[in-house]
Structure 1
Amino acid sequence: MREDKLISRLRHLAGRALAMAPLLLLGACQSELLDPAGDIALQQRDIIYISTALMLLIIVPVMALTVIFAWHYRAKNAQATYDPDFDHSTSLELVIWAAPLLIIICLGALTWWSTHLLDPFRPLNRISASKPIDPKAKPLVVQVVSLDWKWLFIYPEQGVASVNQLALPVDRPVRFELTSTNMMNTFYAPTLAGMIYTMPGMRSTLHAVLNKPGHYRGMSGNYSGAGFSYMNFTLDGVDQRGFDAWVARAKGSGAPLDTARFLELEKPSEKVPPMLFSGVAPGLFDRVYNRCVKPGTPCMSEMMHHGQGGPGSGMPSTRNAPPPSGGKPEGAIFKEGEEKGTAPNVTKPRNPNDATGSTAPHSHKNESMSFNLVPAAPGLLRSGVSREAAA
Structure 2
Amino acid sequence: MKQSKASKRLAMSLVPALLLFTTGCTRNMIVLDPKGPIAEQQRDLMAISLALCCVVIVPVLIMTAVIVWRYRDRKGRKATYTPEWEHSTKLEVVWWGIPIVVILILGVITVQATYALEPSRPLESDQKPLTVQVTSLNWKWLFQYPEQGIATVNELRIPQGVPIKFEITADSPMNSFWIPQLGGQMYAMSGMAMTLYLQADEQGMYWGSGANFTGTHFADMYFDVKSTSREEFDRWVDEIKSSSPALTLDGYKRLSEPSVSQKQFFSSFPEGLFEMSVTKYAASHNHGLSWEKAKRFELEETTSGQ
When the two structures are superposed, what TM-score results if normalisation uses the length of structure 2? 0.83
Residues 100 and 174 (structure 1), Cα distance of their counterparts in 2 relative to 1, 3 Å cut: same
- The reply on whether 1:286 has 2:275 as its aligned counterpart is yes
Aligned to 1:64: 62
Residues 80 and 152 (structure 1), Cα distance of their counterparts in 2 relative to 1, 3 Å cut: same
Q: What CA distance in whole angstroms lies between the structure 2 residues aligned with 1:112 and 1:73?
A: 43
Aligned to 1:207: 197
Compute the displacement of 1:58 (Å). 1.1
Compute the displacement of 1:25 (Å). 5.7
Tell me if structure 2 keeps the 8 A contact 1:188–1:218.
Answer: yes
Compute the displacement of 1:253 (Å). 2.7
Compute the displacement of 1:99 (Å). 0.9
Tell me if structure 2 keeps the 8 A contact 1:291–1:300.
Answer: no
Q: Which amino acid aligns with 2:279?
A: N
Q: What CA distance in whole angstroms lies between the structure 2 residues aligned with 1:259 and 1:299?
A: 22
Larger Rg: 1
Aligned to 1:143: 133
Q: What CA distance in whole angstroms lies between the structure 2 residues aligned with 1:183 and 1:70?
A: 50
Q: What CA distance in whole angstroms lies between the structure 2 residues aligned with 1:233 and 1:51?
A: 30
Q: Which amino acid aligns with 2:66?
A: I
Q: Which amino acid aligns with 2:217?
A: G
Q: Which amino acid aligns with 2:233?
A: F
Tell me if structure 2 keeps the 8 A contact 1:188–1:220.
Answer: yes
Residues 114 and 25 (structure 1), Cα distance of their counterparts in 2 relative to 1, 3 Å cut: closer
Residues 107 and 162 (structure 1), Cα distance of their counterparts in 2 relative to 1, 3 Å cut: same
Tell me if structure 1 keeps the 8 A contact 2:245–2:265.
Answer: yes
Q: Deviations over 1:53-73 (max 9, x none)?
A: 111111111111112223333
More helix as a share of residues: 2
Q: Deviations over 1:215-245 (max 9, x none)?
A: 1110001011111110010000101011111
Matches within 5 A, 1:24-43: 26-27=25-26, 29-43=27-41
Q: What CA distance in whole angstroms lies between the structure 2 residues aligned with 1:299 and 1:286?
A: 15
3-state SS in 2 of match to 1:33: helix
Aligned to 2:123: 124
Q: What CA distance in whole angstroms lies between the structure 1 residues aligned with 2:216 and 2:264?
A: 21
Alignment gaps of 5+ in structure 2: 1-17, 290-306
Residues 302 and 151 (structure 1), Cα distance of their counterparts in 2 relative to 1, 3 Å cut: closer
Tell me if structure 2 keeps the 8 A contact 1:153–1:162.
Answer: yes
Q: What CA distance in whole angstroms lies between the structure 2 residues aligned with 1:284 and 1:215?
A: 28
Q: What CA distance in whole angstroms lies between the structure 2 residues aligned with 1:77 and 1:249?
A: 83
Tell me if structure 2 keeps the 8 A contact 1:287–1:299.
Answer: no
When the two structures are superposed, what TM-score results if normalisation uses the length of structure 1? 0.66
Alignment gaps of 5+ in structure 1: 1-18, 126-132, 304-391
Q: What CA distance in whole angstroms lies between the structure 2 residues aligned with 1:172 and 1:83?
A: 67
3-state SS in 1 of match to 2:147: coil
Matches within 5 A, 1:221-260: 221-260=211-250
Aligned to 1:337: none
Q: Deviations over 1:14-34 (max 9, x none)?
A: xxxxx89x669623x121111
- The reply on whether 1:273 has 2:262 as its aligned counterpart is yes
Q: Which amino acid aligns with 2:118?
A: D
Compute the displacement of 1:300 (Å). 4.2
Matches within 5 A, 1:163-202: 163-202=153-192
3-state SS in 1 of match to 2:65: helix
Q: Deviations over 1:245-300 (max 9, x none)?
A: 11112112331112111111111102x1111101111111111111179xxx6674
Question: Which structure ranks higher in relative contact order (CA pairs < 8 Å, sequence separation ≥ 6)?
Answer: 2
Q: What CA distance in whole angstroms lies between the structure 1 residues aligned with 2:22 and 2:79?
A: 40
Q: Which amino acid aligns with 1:261?
A: G
Tell me if structure 1 keeps the 8 A contact 2:190–2:281.
Answer: no
Aligned to 2:80: 81
Q: What CA distance in whole angstroms lies between the structure 2 residues aligned with 1:237 and 1:219?
A: 16
Report which stretch shifted further, 192-201 or 65-74: 65-74
Compute the displacement of 1:76 (Å). 4.5
Tell me if structure 1 keeps the 8 A contact 2:276–2:288.
Answer: no
Compute the displacement of 1:168 (Å). 0.6
